[in-house]
Structure 1
Amino acid sequence: MTYHNILSELKEQILYVTINREHKLNALNKDTLAELADVIEFAGKSDVVSGVLLTGAGEKAFVAGADISEFADYDSAQGEALARNGQKMVFDAIENCPKPVLAAINGFALGGGLELAMACHMRIASENAKLGLPEVSLGLIPGYGGTQRLTQLVGKGRAIEMITTGEMITAIQAEKFGLVNYVVPQTELIARSEALLNKIKSRAPLAVGKAISAINASFNAEGFEVEIKAFGKCFQTGDFKEGALAFIEKRKPVFKGK
């Protein structure tokens, strides 16, 4: 596959993947998700890849969310399919990749962007990073595993607070909550990420892969199915239509709880 939305470079057994839509704050659209699915499949199968470093282009955003204009008119069935396909092809594929995948969060990680980072096995954030799941402001809930992975990482209380308020947190707060492994100056982000992947690279690769698999098995996947169904149902609400339209029109939404 020829990539138009991501950059991919292999250096010393580390696959550097950069979401390259800086003019859109690296927002996830269908084509970007398809390219991520392809590059993660390659990483998992390739003997020359020992780890993946995933980041966003520029200094403002890791991924500022999903491209809402692509699904603003979806109905319930389409919304459920959107979540199911995205989870299977990208987010679950990253989580289940036998090679360690590290998210170098270089700025905003919001909505689908934070869900992408949480699907990775480890996260390092720059000091300027802001993280959040603002889907409720659009009349939605997180649909790419956010309700499940955030709860696993920060606990039920923090997850409910973050998701139901939709507010962003700072990188320092994220580290305190256990959402990211480390916070570093932006100028040191890639080097610190490389250092961690290089340390893992020196370990037995098959054992690393098995360890990732065993750790993932400690979580019950049933919750993802619940999330997919709930995400799809949001698309049949007037609040979602209003939220998406308000976003596109750059105004505050007026929700009616219908």
Structure 2
Amino acid sequence: MSGEPYVKQNTENGIATIEFFHPAHNSLPGDLLAKLANTITEAGNDDKIKVIILKSGGDRTFCAGASFTELISINDAETGKVFFSGFANVINAMRKCPKFIIGRIQGKTVGGGVGVASATDYCMATKFAAIKLSELNVGIGPFVVGPAVERKLGLSGMSQIAIDANTFYDAEWAKQKGLYNQVYESVEELDEAVQKFAKGLCNYNPEAMKEMKKVFWSGTENWDELLAERAVISGRLVLSDFTKETLKRFEE
């Protein structure tokens, strides 16, 4: 993929489509994560918007997780905490957003990307949208995204892919576990289904959907604190000798 990174929003007939892109397989550096969190929050507060579609640019990868370039540059605990808080802020923005967020997952998703997909309210994917939690490979763990992933996959499913950090689990597995609601043969079929579903939601009472979303996310009210604590754990581990050595090998 080539091109400049971006987060953009297009609103039409009550449907806000929020799209992010980065040429490095849609990995997300801190500035894009901050913009994505803000864009989701603003869309949630816009009365003209009834439903949100979250998607990424390109056709191969939904999101490769955190920016590797930023990850290897972390040299102190505070920077580490800020870095890992990026995905926490996006997940919390999605959680608090009073509108339903439909995930449009066109391809593979890794690490933090699995957390973003898990934080959507209804997630639709292609058969190419395999998932992997690769954090253990570099000496850390999916601490920040873990609560969102566990909420969708259950503790058993989340721990399976977190421990088996080298393996991509296919879209059908993710559907069986509850992450994906529908899986399609192609991006074209996915896009058609996402649009049809979003248009259908626009016919419902916004107040009813807002109250339903509160119910669906009940029990997560402590996530501002929880995910911040998890970011501290990751920020500490990324400074370990093991992780520094592993990242050096990956860089080479």
TM-score, normalised relative to structure 1: 0.87
Q: 1:38-96: per-residue Cα shift (whole Å, max 9, x none)?
A: 211220111111111111112101111211111313233322232335413x2200121
Match of 1:232 among 235, 241, 244: 235
The AA in structure 2 aligned to 1:45 is N
User: What CA distance in whole angstroms lies between the structure 2 residues aligned with 1:38 and 1:80?
Assistant: 19
Counterpart residue number, 1:38: 38
For residue 239 of structure 1, what is the amino acid of its counterpart? F
**Equivalent AA in structure 1 for residue 233 of structure 2:** A
1:8 is matched by which residue type in structure 2? Answer: Q
Please state how far the C-alpha of 1:216 moved relative to its aligned partner. Answer: 0.9
Structure 1 residues 28, 138: CA separation in 2 closer, same or farther (over 3 Å shift)? same
Corresponding residue of 2:114: 114
Please name the residue that 2:160 is paired with: 161
Give the distance between the partners of 2:228 and 2:7, measured in 1 at CA: 29
1:207 paired residue number: 208
Relative to structure 1, the CA distance from residue 38 to residue 4 in structure 2 (aligned partners, 3 Å threshold; closer, same or farther) is farther
Change (3 A) 1:65 1:220: same
Number of residue pairs matched by the alignment: 244
Distance 2:88 2:59 in 1: 27
- Within 5 A, what are the aligned runs for 1:72-91? 72-74=72-74, 75-88=76-89, 90-91=90-91
Equivalent in the alignment of 2:198 = 197
Q: What is the aligned partner in structure 1 of residue 217 from structure 2? A: 216
Counterpart in 1 of 2:131? Answer: 131
Q: Which residue of 1 aligns with 2:54?
A: 54
**Which deviates further from its counterpart, 223-232 or 175-184?**
223-232
Give the RMSD, CA atoms, in angstroms: 1.9
Matches of 1:225 and 1:29, distance apart in 2? 18
Would the aligned equivalents of 1:13 and 1:49 in 2 still touch at CA under 8 Å?
Answer: yes
Residue 52 of structure 1: SS of its match in structure 2? strand
Amino acid across the alignment from 2:20: I
**Deviation per residue, 1:88-111 (Å, 9 max, x gap):** 3x2200121001111100001111
Closer, same or farther in 2 for the Cα pair 1:240/1:59, shift >3 Å? same
- Quote the residue 1:147 is aligned against: 146
Distance 1:176 1:140 in 2: 27
CA distance in structure 2 between the partners assigned to 1:146 and 1:86 by the alignment: 7
Check the 8 A contact 1:73/1:241 in 2, yes or no.
no
Unpaired segments ≥5 residues, structure 2:
none
Shift of residue 226, structure 1, vs aligned partner: 4.8
Deviation readout 1:154-187 (Å, 9 max, x if unpaired): 2222211100111211111110111111101222
Asked if residue 244 in structure 1 is aligned to residue 247 in structure 2, the reply is: yes
Gaps of 5+ in 1: 250-258
1:161–1:86 distance in 2 versus 1, CA, 3 Å: closer
2:30–2:86 CA contact under 8 A, matched in 1: no
Verify the 8 A CA contact 1:100 1:197 in the aligned structure 2. no
- Give me the identity figure in percent: 23
TM-score for both structures, normalised by structure 2: 0.89
After superposition, the Cα gap between the structure-2 partners of 1:232 and 1:4, relative to the gap in structure 1 and judged at 3 Å, is closer
